[in-house]
Amino acid sequence: MTGQTLSEKIFSRASGKLVHAGEFVMARIDRAMIHDITGPLAVKGFYQIAGENARVWDPSRIVVLFDHQVPADSLKAAENHQMLRAFAKEQKILNHDINCGICHQVMPEMGHVLPGNLIIGTDSHTCAYGALGAFATGVGSTDMASAFATGKLWFMVPQTLRLMIEGILPCRVTSKDVVLRIIGDVGADGATYMACEFRGSTVSRMSVAERMTMTNMAIEMGGKAGLVEPDRTTMTYLKDFAVEEPFTGDEDAPSQVRHYQVDDLEPQIAMPHSVDNVRPISQVPKTRIDQVFLGSCTNGRFEDLQLAAEVMGGEPVARGVRMIVIPASRKEYMKALRSGLVEQFMEAGALVEAPCCGPCMGGSFGLIGAGEVSLSTSNRNFVGRQGSPKGFVYLCSPAVAGASALTGEITDPREI
């Protein structure tokens, strides 16, 4: 009898039978999340499916929050917020409203994500929660509507791609550089439908924040989920919450394996206009930048802000460059505030905004115009992603963002 991967074990628990990759299952959902962009369609679909007086299957398992267009940036956004507020109130669902930050930071930090959980969210970067050993995946609004009614959803149990990462990361080279390197190698669809497990000694030494950066970007290679097996670091992160003894995958479980050695890894840049268009920074031509965005669910945590600030060393942002810093959540913002980072960024000439998605998806503020270049610690650089379809988005680590903010061009943080 061959073993099971962590994903197979989670689907076995959630479907009540022993399952393996390739099987279709109807699985019970442990937690479901909607936000202000995709939530309204889910709510509308729920009432269409279940009837206008229907109740959701279990309000204690649903979380509502607003992060994409906050505070409401238009009347339409305000109407969407009102509709979701009313839904949450009527159904007695927890609503974090605009107060807490980006869904993918808020869900783990509030204890809504536990190892072994099966979680769905109406956002493709829901895969980030796998950093805590949950199976979490993005779904569309109608799938969510159906789950609201029944508490269940069909899935194909995915194959697993084990990404074995070994070695000690050089100074100012980060988990973002690791995941960009992997995406460049695997390709934008190389892991389609697969569960991407990040393993190896490098991952074992990483903090939960560093792990989240990688699991967050599993979708950028087509992955259905990104996972890190729960360990002592996971349990320390979750110390304030009631957590059952977590389980891990079996070593002999069938999976594809790729190996990465990171001792000599350079900072990596994803060039326009696809996330798998990755180059080591030494091979990136001299590139002038107009805007630096330090934030997002990928790299908006305290550790990310701290690293960028350390690279900047109290020096000012280059003339002609706009730097926008957005901590991923209220908690991360407060940490940055208390430690003096907010002051340091503001003194340097950056703008520090309240927790939200900001420029990342180009639907609210901080947009770039035609011909402008954005250097961003977020997760996507598609055409038009941060504003004009004639703009250019380069993706990087917080260290590269900090270094480049000082010089006004894409800069290796090891040279600062």
Nearer to another protein, 80 or 233 (CB): 80
User: Cβ closer to another protein: 181 or 224?
Assistant: 224
Contacts of 15 (CB under 8 A, 6+ apart): 25, 26, 27, 28
Q: Report, in Å, the least distance between residue 292 CB and another protein.
A: 20
Residues 102 and 85: their CA atoms lie apart, in Å, by 17
Q: Which of 297, 315, 279 is nearest to 404 (CA)?
A: 315
Residue 110: CB minimum distance to another protein, A: 21
CB 268, CB 278: distance < 8 Å = yes
Which residue, 179, 401, 415, is CA-closest to 292? Answer: 401
CA dist 350 to 210, 329, 355, Å? 24, 18, 15
Question: How many other CB atoms are there within 10 angstroms of residue 78's CB atom?
Answer: 13
C-beta of 393: minimal distance to another protein in Å? 10
Select 340 or 389, whichever has its Cβ closest to another protein: 389
Closest to another protein by CB, 24 or 241 = 24
Measured from the CB atom, the residue of 73 and 97 that comes closer to another protein is 73
Q: What does residue 361 show for φ and ψ, rounded to 5 degrees?
A: -110, 10
Nearest of 326, 336, 395 to residue 357 by alpha carbon: 326
Q: Which amino acid appears at position 133 of this protein?
A: G
Q: Closest approach of Cβ 307 to another protein, in Å? A: 27
Give dist(CA 229, CA 138) in Å, integer.
20
Backbone angles phi, psi at 368, to 5 degrees: -105, 150
Residue 45 C-beta: closest distance to another protein, Å: 5
**Interaction site with another protein (CB under 8 A):** 24, 37-38, 40-41, 44-45, 48-51, 68-69, 74, 76-77, 80, 122-124, 126, 138-143, 145-146, 149, 154, 188-189, 192-193, 219, 222, 224, 274, 361-363, 380, 382-385, 389
Q: Which is nearer to another protein, 193 or 241 (CB)?
A: 193
Between residues 27 and 203, which has the closer beta carbon with respect to another protein? Answer: 27
Measured between alpha carbons, how far is 346 from 352 in angstroms, rounded to an integer? 7
The residue (of 188 and 235) whose beta carbon lies closer to another protein is 188
Least distance CB 87 / another protein (angstroms): 14
Please state the closest distance from residue 357 (CB atom) to another protein, in A.
9
DSSP state of 288: B
What is the C-alpha R_g of the chain? Answer: 21
- Say if strands 195-199 and 62-64 run parallel, antiparallel, or are unpaired: unpaired
At closest approach, how far in Å is the CB of 53 from another protein?
A: 13
111/140 with CB nearer another protein? 140
The DSSP annotation for 298-345 comes to: HH-SHHHHHHHHHHHTTPPPPTT-EEEEE-SBHHHHHHHHHTTHHHHH
* Residue 85: CB minimum distance to another protein, A: 16
